[in-house]
Structure 1
């Protein structure tokens, strides 16, 4: 866990200080925002100049604008959606099942296992599935094509192409720094994300947003296609909320917000400068 509390954290009540493990509850994006708001309150921050986030962070941005409109001066939602789509849920489910089917997951209670005896294989496969969605077909084709790791002079089931080695590398890399149960919790929270839930519909939910909003999409994003960002922008604009849509022109897919920093930074800098000037100090 790299947040305040997660499945690997000690349970001070139910398990006598042992990790929560399988007893850790399912949390939502709204729960995360409530926690952030509580921390901001403890720090004496009454209002943010801006809440900025991409992907799952963008989900939190939208919930900040809906749940605490009086505590944000502006919002920047990047490569995100008002609700997880069926395809996004499908990707998340496949990854979670890869972890669940790893016998070393032990139903979520693996923290007492010896080093190297946790659900590393399941987590690596889950990351490999996710990694496919983060980049575009053009990027995979340009970078790897049909290059092989192992000679194809004679065929076997486990001869590898270069793209397979790339996925394996990212799977192993995540295992070294991330907890499998936390991965399950975070991806489930993303799948459950729906700003309209319990609020009468999308328009009614976004009607609570009053802060100027910058929505960014990525031209080649196959995981969070631009229609999802345009939907948020269109609803906000049509209801009279100041909203701007900027599309990042990039071949890099969903990860472009981490790669094309010149485009992201330029739009963000201009927007925040306008926000800063818009209200008397």
Structure 2
């Protein structure tokens, strides 16, 4: 039986790798993102049926319109992967740009809510589904400059658990995948196109690859129905927990 996965932010990084991973397993894909030319290229590459739709997850009306206009062959949706998200800036809370904070909240929180709310009715009607949210270790472990980004990912973690609590009786699973150091366009977006600054994040490291996260997404979504994976926290082999920050000399 053909299964369908709906992926947000499929134009790069985790989302693109996830589309490739599911397609390799025979799933048909619905790929969305803001860059149409990248969606078209990915669609042409995939070997299974694919529907591509340009969509900004922060636009509730656009999300609802895309879901409402899905071809019948691509419904109902079996798995939703809420991947679209971003970090902006690395300044401390007193220095951060409030518009960056607003954009992170709109994308990382509201985008997840809009997509989940738009697609859940299909899953409810079908009596089957799985919502996979892409969180971050930043939602678990604070670091300087992580302020609102980390807070949005903490929301994603708790929302995922609450989805599971609400939907367990309706045969809908929920999972939060929480990656750490991974090399994608993430740092270029965070530093607003400053490639040199972004590259320094990965200097002399072996970060995780998008394919590593895609493997975790697929694994969680392909477990037997008597198994729900609540959360997977992932770190690169070169990464571990930070020590407590102690500032000396304060009175």
* TM-score normalised by L of structure 2: 0.35
Answer 1 or 2: higher relative contact order, Cα 8 Å, separation at least 6. 1
User: Higher strand fraction: Structure 1 or Structure 2?
Assistant: 2
Structure with more of its chain in helix, by fraction: 1
Larger radius of gyration: 1
